[in-house]
Amino acid sequence: MKKEKIVIIGGGFGGLNAAKSLKKTGAEITLIDKTNHHLFQPLLYQVAAAALSPGDIATPIRGVLRKRKNIKVIMEKVISIDRKNKKVILKDDEIEFDYLIVAVGSRHSYFGNDQWENFAPGLKTISDALKIREKMLYAFEKAEVAKTDAEIDKYLTFVIVGGGPTGVELAGAIAEISKKTMRKDFRRIDPSKTKIILVEGENRILTTYDNSLSKAAEESLKQMGVNVLLNRKVTEINSEGVQIGDEFINATNVFWAAGNQASPLLKSLNTEQDRAGRIIVDNDCSIKDDANIFIIGDAANFKNGGGKTLPGIAPVAIQQGKYVADIINKNINKEDRKPFKYFDKGTMATIGRAKAVLQIGKFKASGFFAWLTWVFVHIMYLIGFRNRYMVMSEWVWHYINMKNGIRLITNKQNN
Ligand SMILES: Cc1cc2nc3c(=O)[nH]c(=O)nc-3n(C[C@H](O)[C@H](O)[C@H](O)COP(=O)(O)OP(=O)(O)OC[C@H]3O[C@@H](n4cnc5c(N)ncnc54)[C@H](O)[C@@H]3O)c2cc1C
C-alpha cells in the first residue's frame, strides 16, 4: 500500500509542534526548513542586546526530532507550492504531499519602504539579532574615538521604531546595557548619556495590552532613561538618521520593530490573503477548496468566534500545530472537524531587569511579580535542558552583577 505523505514547511513554533504531535507511524513525514534550527524568537532581543548567545535560544531541528524515525528533515528553502499536483517545489527537487502544513511565519515589513532595511535592521532571525548586536556595540567603539561632540552624539543616539513588545523589550535592554552594564567601560565617553528614543505611531505603547499596563510600561521605560515618543510617524530613514514629522534625529543606530509581512511563498497557494499577506483560513485552519492544506501560526489569518484575527504569537502557532496534527492523525473529514479554539494563556512583555507587564484575561500585573512569571514561562517553553540551564544561569549572573556577557564584535563589515 502507498504510504501517506505529510509535508510540513517550517520548523518554528507551529511546524515543530505539528511534527511532534503527528502519531502516524506508517506515514512518510517530511519537515522542510530553510534554516537548520528552531528559534525561540521571544528571547531574540536578548541576543541583540548581548545578554544571551545565539546557541542559548536556538536548537537544531534534526536533534529535536532525532527519535522520530519516520520524520525526514530537509534544510532547504521552499520556492513554491503546486496545489494542483500536490507538490512542494524546492530549488532542485519536488516533494509530493497528501497533507500539507504550512508554518512559514512572517518577516518584518517596512510598509513599502524596503530601502529603510539598510539603515534600520529588524529582528526576526539569529543573523538579524547579531547584526543589531554588532551595530550597537560598534557604535560605542566609534563614539569613543570620535572627533567632535556632534559625532559622539550621533553614535550614542538609538532610535527604536515601533512600541509593540519587541520595540519595548529592545529599548529596555539597550537602556540597561548602556546605562548600567557598560557605564564604566570607556574612558572618553560616558555610555550612561546614551539617548534611547522609542517611536510609536499610536497614542500608547503596547496597544494590545490594557491601557493601565501601557502606562506602567511607559513609566518604567522613562525611569530607565528611554524617551518615548507617541503619536509620531517615521517618514524617512537614511544613513544620517530618522525623520519623525518635522524633526530629524541624527542617529547611526536605528532599529525597526514596527510591522510584519507574511512570507511571499504564500502567494503561490493562489487563495485569499489579507493586507499583511497572511492566508485567510477556515475555522479548521485549512484553506478554501483544499481540506488537506493547513496554514498555521503567523502565516495564517484565523478569525476567532468574535471575528477578531488571532495575534501572531507563539501560543497560537503551538496550539494550531497540535490541532492540525490531531486532524491528520485521525483522518477527520472537513465536515466533521471541530473548529480550532484558541486557549488564551495570556501575554507578557519585559521592560528590563525585574520589570514586566502581564495580562491573563482580566487579570493584570506589572513589576517584579510579572517579571518572575515572565522568567518562569520563558524557561519552561525553551527547548532542551541545556538551553534552559544556560539561559537561567545567564539571567542569575546578570541579575546579581548587571553584566551582559556576550559583548563581542566579530564582523566589523556589518557596520
Ligand atoms: C523579536 C520577536 C519577539 C517575539 N516575542 C514573543 C513573545 O514574547 N511571546 C510570544 O508569544 N510570541 C512572540 N513572538 C512571536 C512568535 O515568535 C511567533 O508568533 C511565532 O514564532 C510564530 O510561529 P510560526 O511557526 O508561525 O513561525 P516561526 O516560528 O517564525 O517559524 C517559521 C519557520 O519557517 C521557516 N521558513 C520560512 N520560510 C520558509 C521557506 N520558504 N522554506 C522553508 N522554511 C521556511 C523559517 O526558517 C522558520 O523556522 C516574537 C517574535 C519576534 C520576531
* Residue extents of the structural domains in the chain: 5-34+76-108+260-336, 114-258+346-408
Q: Which atom of ligand 1 is nearest to the CA of 315?
A: 11
Q: Cell match 528590563: residue?
A: 352
Cα-to-centroid distance, 106 and ligand 1 (Å): 6
Q: What is the average pLDDT across 200-208? A: 97
Which atom of ligand 1 is least distant from the CA of 312? 19
CATH topology of domain 114-258+346-408: FAD/NAD(P)-binding domain (3.50.50)
Q: Check whether 17 has a pLDDT greater than 70.
A: yes
Ligand 1 atom closest to 313 (CA): 19
Nearest CA residue ID for atom 3, ligand 1: 42
Strands in 253-256's sheet, in edge-to-edge order, are 226-229, 195-199, 157-161, 253-256
Closest CA to 102 of 346, 259, 271, 257: 271
Is residue 169 annotated as part of the catalytic site, yes or no? yes
Ligand 1 atom with minimal separation from the 104 CA: 34
**Topology match between the domains 5-34+76-108+260-336 and 114-258+346-408:** yes
Determine the distance separating the centroid of ligand 1 and the alpha carbon of 125, expressed in angstroms: 9
pLDDT above 70 for 14: yes
Pocket lining for ligand 1, CB < 6 angstroms: 9-15, 32-35, 41-42, 44-45, 77-78, 103-105, 123-124, 165-166, 263, 265, 297-299, 312-315, 317
Q: 368-381 and 385-401 are packed helices; what angle lies between their axes, rounded to 10 degrees? A: 150
* Nearest Cα residue to atom 35 of ligand 1: 10
What is the pLDDT at residue 412?
A: 61
Ligand 1 centroid to 93 CA: how many Å? 25
235 Cα–ligand 1 center, Å = 27
Please check whether residue 240 is in contact with residue 250, taking contact to mean a CB–CB distance below 8 angstroms: yes
Q: Taking all residues of the chain, what is their mean pLDDT, rounded to a whole number?
A: 94
What is the predicted pLDDT for the residue at 384?
84
Q: Find the mean pLDDT for residues 383-408.
A: 81
CA of 144 to the centre of ligand 1 (A): 37
CA of 98 to the centre of ligand 1 (A): 25
Give the CA diameter of the chain. Answer: 76
Distance set, CA 27 to CA 107, 135, 313 (Å): 32, 47, 30
Cell reading at 273: 490573503
What's the mean pLDDT in 180-204? 93
Can you tell me the mean pLDDT for 377-396? 88
For residue 110, the Cα-to-chain-centroid distance in whole angstroms is: 16
Do you know the residue count of the chain? 415
Quote the percentage of the chain above a pLDDT of 70: 98
127 pLDDT above the threshold of 90 = yes
Whole-number pLDDT of residue 404: 65
On the question of pLDDT at 32 being above 90, the answer is yes
Architecture of domain 5-34+76-108+260-336: 3-Layer(bba) Sandwich (3.50)
Average pLDDT over residues 317-329: 98
Residue 414, pLDDT above cutoff 60: no
Average pLDDT on 94-116 reads 96
What pLDDT score was predicted for residue 406?
77
Closest among 347, 404, 399 to 374, alpha carbons compared: 347
State how far the Cα of 135 lies from the Cα of 130, in Å rounded to an integer: 8
Q: Calculate ∠ Cα 54-387-76, nearest 5°.
A: 55
Identify which of 268, 313, 374, 377 to mutate to test ligand 1's pocket (most ligand atoms within 8 A of the CB). Answer: 313
What is the average pLDDT across 84-102?
Answer: 97
**Catalytic hit among 28, 134, 169, 394:** 169
Residue nearest to atom 12 of ligand 1 (CA): 313
